[in-house]
Chain A
């Protein structure tokens, strides 16, 4: 299941925005630096599969929530896609939470997230060793016009994702159903009348998926917005992108591209059938085109309609961070949580083949100094593992006990025992002022440990192409990853399966270890998800024994919202979660 580099690019966008989060600790005479700390809890928890009973009951009410009112969402850019087949970035996915339903979805209650049946009565029934998955649809589920949602619509929705014109979405189901990464050749999509035999719909309430191989985490894959039901009669093809036919609690009333969008209640949706969504506000108004600082200042001022305004993913900028974090009334209406994105420094495993040298790099690396350039604790939390805390089975460990400031003496000892006591390291970085400063910190620290450091600036827009080149001439470079669902299956195979090394692939550290590859195959074929999670965590530790990367930080999201909103928190997607929001 190759994850395309789109995910990496999305992450790049998220991090480019994150880079703006820097905070003044002490300007003028206030001197309250010590008091200003990010305070939100980390979303460190696993996502379990919910029971049929949990799937059947309506989403438990948010305490104190009221129905009614209008929420304004201030976004820097319009959503690039709303057609579920093309939705992959976190902002687009968040918008489609309001407009689509899936077979399964994530239910958030009191800070605990679990996967439950959404359109389906449960999270699916596997058979044939996880190769066949059967879902039964609920009664009374309807589209925006009141017509029923059928199993055939779910099938059609999946079939649409094969259309080459509808590019940009995830490719898990397409690959799993056909068994080929070049899935469009096996099945071109439904627009010319072809049928996908791998999905069967014996009746309007039953859908059966026949996969080419075993996939125990299939219930998580069908929770992606890309696999939403679409009725054939309402498939407007390219126009669907601007205003999809809604299966969710809201529908598009008007949408002026790059300017504004208004969502109003869908006539067909009812709370009784939906275990994961609330629809407290009557209306959602989106305004596109504001700069991050403008959005922050509007949310701080909170005048008039902005009292009920929020943003999905605009981060608090450096210009106002100090003000926000040191004013209790503003801090009270700030979301501050760890997002699912992990960032790390790739070591080029093809160029630096001696594990001792890689370990020395990890030991000498100035993780704290570099994080300070990007705003310190506001930027993210240190990590020593490959998997992020939001992944199922995550186990915290620290193999090397490297101090966050780097330990040049220990690194020198490691180098002395290695094949080259003074290796030359080419550190590649994006051409921004912050990365330039970070490169100085990296060069200074590695220099102390006895490395010869060459810093190589790469134009920001070419950065991912350059580090994605399997023959790149760099030794150390930053990269990041966010799982598509809370399973290590969307982290370890795409990043560390050496057979997937390809131009623009995600194994940018070029790590290829036959025993790790074999272990990836073995775990992927396991049918017990709990056992899988445990084995992935063990493999995480095994891989880190080879030091292919220097784990750095799990990013945080810090965003503001208006004082008259309640139920605002971060969702698994890594954006502010709209489904529990209500107007006070």
Chain B
């Protein structure tokens, strides 16, 4: 005991030895992340997609083309008489970097970058909504327990076992026609909103279940129980004690959900329930590409590659984030 007391204070050794340095958990995570080369590369690719997608109008302005004009139909030499691009690789040229679309002759490059914007914005909006709702429900159910937990869990069970994709395909057109009379065009924001709301309605359940489990185990930990014993209000316990420990699972689920919803949105458009013409969309490009692939392979290749790279990069980034935040978890 006395030996302990006579030891020099730790701060003294910290001042002399560079090996011991105070770092916040965030700084530690950042350090671990920077060491992960794959993660950094994936992060750069994801950042590029964000810049390109959100900056699509600027790029389109610099490039001098837009995704709506039917260049091939206005300039006779671009499409042959059967509606296919003239020239190799789907009509790639210095004017049309990735060629033009068969039939209508729109520019593939601007369609792609506007398509990123569509997918990203929809996906981010969904992820924001499901994360907020999922966190609220999950924490409430996990912390309150009893009937609140029971009823929330049953709702989550039902939603998780629901055939969601079938429901989306069946319900989205119905939802849209319910709000707009058949003689009016469905505005683009309305279509996007429907897709976002319907997907969010089913998406929050998995986040909620994950967080409920985390909260259940945290609730029994000593620091939470001590706080309860000394009479800290529940709101403060949740915000100050639980939430800081939940940031890791939330961040990880967000980083994995974004690519998931990009592909879901594309799949819906592929099935005809997502965004419609003339809004540029990856899913619809791939669907059209699948119809013409034998004659014009590049029209399927570019959207397909773009989506593959995006989803791969985002998933790798998600893995890297998890490794950095929670090094003890195994993959």
Contact = CB atoms under 8 A, between A and B. Distances in A.
B85 A369 contact: no
A149 interface: no
A440 B82 contact: no
Interface string B117-147: 0000000000000000000000000000000
Contacts of B83: 22-23, 25, 372-376
Interface string B259-278: 00000000000001000111
Contact of B292 (A22, A374, A426, A441): A22
B323 interface: no
Nearest to A458: B182
B295 A436 contact: no
A168 interface: no
Q: Is the interface of B mostly helix, strand, loop or mixed?
A: loop
Contacts of B80: 25-26, 33, 376
A225 to B, nearest CB: 35
A327 B88 CA distance: 20
A444 interface: yes
A527 to B, nearest CB: 47
B277 A24 contact: no
Nearest to B173: A459
Contacts of B85: 26
Interface in A186-213: none
B81 interface: yes
A243 B78 CA distance: 53
Nearest to A378: B82
Contact of B82 (A25, A366, A433): A25
B33 interface: no
Interface in A424-458: 424, 426, 431, 433-434, 436-437, 439-441, 443-444, 454-457
A401 interface: no
A234 interface: no
Contacts of B87: 26
A25 B276 contact: no
Interface stretch (B4-12, B196-204, B239-247, B283-291): B283-291
A376 to B, nearest CB: 4
Contacts of B84: 22-27
Interface residues of B, number: 34
Given A375-B83, A441-B104, A24 B183 contact: no
Contacts of A27: 84, 295-297
B103 A454 contact: no
B280 to A, nearest CB: 11
Given A369-B73, A440-B104, A454-B185, A24 B81 contact: no
Nearest to A20: B291
Most buried by A among B73, B102, B181: B73
B297 to A, nearest CB: 8
Contacts of B277: 436-437, 439-440, 455
B70 interface: yes
A171 B292 CA distance: 41
B70 A444 contact: yes
A377 interface: yes
Contact of A376 (B82, B86, B88, B284): B82
A163 interface: no
B93 to A, nearest CB: 13
A318 interface: yes
B184 interface: yes
Interface in A317-347: 318-322
B292 A437 contact: no
B183 A426 contact: yes
Contacts of A66: none
B116 interface: no
A377 B82 contact: yes
A436 B284 CA distance: 10
Nearest to A371: B83
B226 interface: no
Nearest to A317: B294
B313 to A, nearest CB: 28
Contacts of B82: 22-25, 33, 36, 321-322, 372, 375-378
B81 A33 contact: yes
A473 B173 CA distance: 18
Given A22-B292, A24-B82, A473 B276 contact: no
A364 B296 CA distance: 30
Nearest to A457: B276
A28 B87 CA distance: 7
Interface residues of A, number: 44
Contacts of A457: 276
Interface in A20-72: 22-29, 33, 36-37
Given A440-B104, A440-B278, A473-B182, A318 B86 contact: no
Contacts of B288: 433, 437
B79 interface: yes
A270 to B, nearest CB: 47
A174 to B, nearest CB: 37
B316 to A, nearest CB: 32
Given A23-B82, A25-B80, A454-B184, A319 B295 contact: yes
Given A318-B291, A319-B294, A377 B81 contact: yes
Nearest to B81: A376
A369 B79 CA distance: 11
A459 B296 CA distance: 27
Contacts of A474: 182
A258 B287 CA distance: 30
Interface string B165-185: 000000001000000011111
A24 B73 contact: no
Contact of A23 (B73, B173, B287, B295): B295
Contacts of B284: 433, 436
A25 B100 CA distance: 14
Given A433-B288, A457-B276, A369 B70 contact: yes
Interface string B287-329: 1100110111100000000000000000000000000000000
B166 to A, nearest CB: 16
Contacts of A33: 80-82, 86
Contact of B88 (A29, A36, A37, A319): A29
Nearest to B70: A444
A310 B297 CA distance: 29
A441 B294 contact: no
Interface string A356-389: 0000000000100100111111100000000000
Nearest to A452: B185
A52 B259 CA distance: 76
B70 A440 contact: yes
Contact of A456 (B103, B182, B295): B182
Contacts of B291: 318, 433-434
A66 B286 CA distance: 50
Contacts of A28: 88
Contacts of B294: 24, 318-320
A455 B185 contact: yes
Nearest to B86: A26
Interface in B11-29: none
A22 B83 CA distance: 8
A510 to B, nearest CB: 16
Most buried by A among B73, B87, B103, B185: B103
12 contacts: A22-B103, A24-B294, A25-B81, A26-B86, A26-B87, A37-B81, A376-B81, A376-B82, A434-B291, A436-B277, A439-B277, A454-B184
Given A376-B82, A459-B173, 16 more contacts: A22-B292, A24-B84, A26-B86, A33-B86, A321-B82, A321-B295, A322-B82, A322-B295, A372-B81, A372-B103, A373-B103, A424-B183, A426-B182, A433-B288, A436-B284, A474-B182
Which A-B residue pairs are the 9 nearest by beta carbons? A25-B80, A24-B295, A23-B82, A319-B294, A33-B80, A372-B83, A373-B103, A376-B82, A454-B185
